[in-house]
Amino acid sequence: MNKRLSTHHWFNESLFNEALIKGFLLVIGSSCLMLITLNVVSAKYQLALIESILLILTICVWFCPKQWRHYKWVVSIYVAFIFACILIGISFSPLHSGRQVWVLIFPMTSYLMLGKRTGFWLSAVCLCLVSTILFLRFYDDFKDGLISIVVNLFLAYVFLWGLTHGAERVHKKMLYALKKIASTDPLTGLANRRNVNQNSLYQLQQVTGMGDELALVLIDLDNFKKINDTHGHEVGDAVLVDFAERLRAHVDDNEQLFRLGGEEFCVFMPAAQSKNWSVAFCQYVDDSLFYFDELEIHYTVSIGVSCSQKGRGDFKHLYRIADQRLYKAKSLGRNCVVLMD
């Protein structure tokens, strides 16, 4: 069975880049094994030794943990060795040997291993040195033919660099779009619960910095199943969309809004304003009618509110308390707010 790249890799840029690098290392390592075999058979032991060193370095980079403080040095040595091998191969090999073609791996090598900026300048240096060596060694023999070779080499370099850079940019845009799709409720356009825990920690840091605590306002539409059963799911969906729009109109930052599932929503806000906001919003929903075609629908909400204490309170803790208070609001007859047990 073919092993596929896990979904986790597609949504994590660093893991995806690591997978690309390992794919590149696998190609280099496999090529080294084949070339070592060919050169040993041809009694070219010096070349086989150089390729063996490159293979060992490739294995070292493969197994070297990225968290290790010397990881960048290992990668730099690896790229420098490839750079040196390319230059040595061109300096001592005849033009018809075909070893010059290995210069084309350097743009991708430097980009993947060292990043865009460093990779760009190293590739430019490599291209200049290779062109200089080719002109010094072969111009007298090939004249204009060599100029054509160097021009094609330059164009190939530009193409490979552009392809690598373009692929990275496209991947980043796709990654952003996938994350957006995965973390957004398709019906209301609000964020779903995928990143709610991470968002709650960010909101907690923000309000703590202002000397306040974080409130989780948990909201549930009352008797929503009755709306679906009476008017159908199309009307039920329209009610959810209408309610999401009401939330957006009453919250300054849409990053604070989440649809947790079904008819359950939550809002993060500073604790100091949560009481007045919750009571006012509950009353606003009760006072407002929703019109769908010729239907006039009145719906209400129940709200439970929980607050962090002394800058501590993850989403699970806040949600558990808010859910208990929401349940209490339901038991009190719905269309009300419960702020404490």
The per-residue pLDDT for range 178-210, each reduced to its tens digit, is 788 888 999 999 999 888 888 888 888 888 888
Q: Which residue has the higher pLDDT, 18 or 7?
A: 18
Answer whether 235's CB lies under 8 Å from 227's CB: yes
List all residues 6 or more positions away from 17 whose beta carbon is below 8 Å from its beta carbon.
112
CB-CB contact of 48 with 36 (8 Å): yes
Residue among 234, 188, 225 nearest 299 (CA): 225
Residue 76, Cβ density class (10 Å: 0-12 exposed, 13-18 middle, ≥19 buried):
middle
What is the arithmetic mean of pLDDT over 117-139? Answer: 85
Res. 255: pLDDT tops 50: yes
The residue ranking higher by pLDDT, 2 or 210, is: 210
pLDDT digits (tens, 9 = 90+) for 89-119: 788 777 777 667 778 887 878 887 888 888 8
pLDDT of 310 higher than 80: no
Average confidence (pLDDT) over 138-159:
83
> 2 falls in which pLDDT band (50, 70, 90)?
very low
Q: What is the pLDDT averaged over residues 245-254?
A: 90
Strand 337-338 to strand 301-307: parallel, antiparallel, or no bridges (unpaired)? parallel
Average pLDDT on 67-76 reads 86
Q: pLDDT-based confidence at 13, cuts 50/70/90?
A: low
Q: Does residue 157 have a pLDDT over 70?
A: yes
Q: Is the pTM of this model over 0.85?
A: no
Q: Decide: residue 95, CB within 10 A, 0-12 exposed, 13-18 middle, 19+ buried.
A: middle
Q: Among all chains, which residue has been given the structure tokens 């306040």?
A: 212
| Distances in whole angstroms, Cα of residue 71 to Cα of each of 26, 64, 152, 293 | 18, 7, 35, 64
C-alpha pair distances (Å), 314 with each of 289, 303, 309, 319: 36, 19, 10, 9
Instruction: Report the Cα 288 to chain-centroid distance in Å.
Output: 41
Mean of the pLDDT values across residues 284-288? 95
Instruction: Decide if pLDDT at 5 tops 60.
Output: no
Q: What is the pLDDT of residue 175?
A: 79
Given this model, what pLDDT does residue 331 score? Answer: 95
Residues that are catalytic? 263
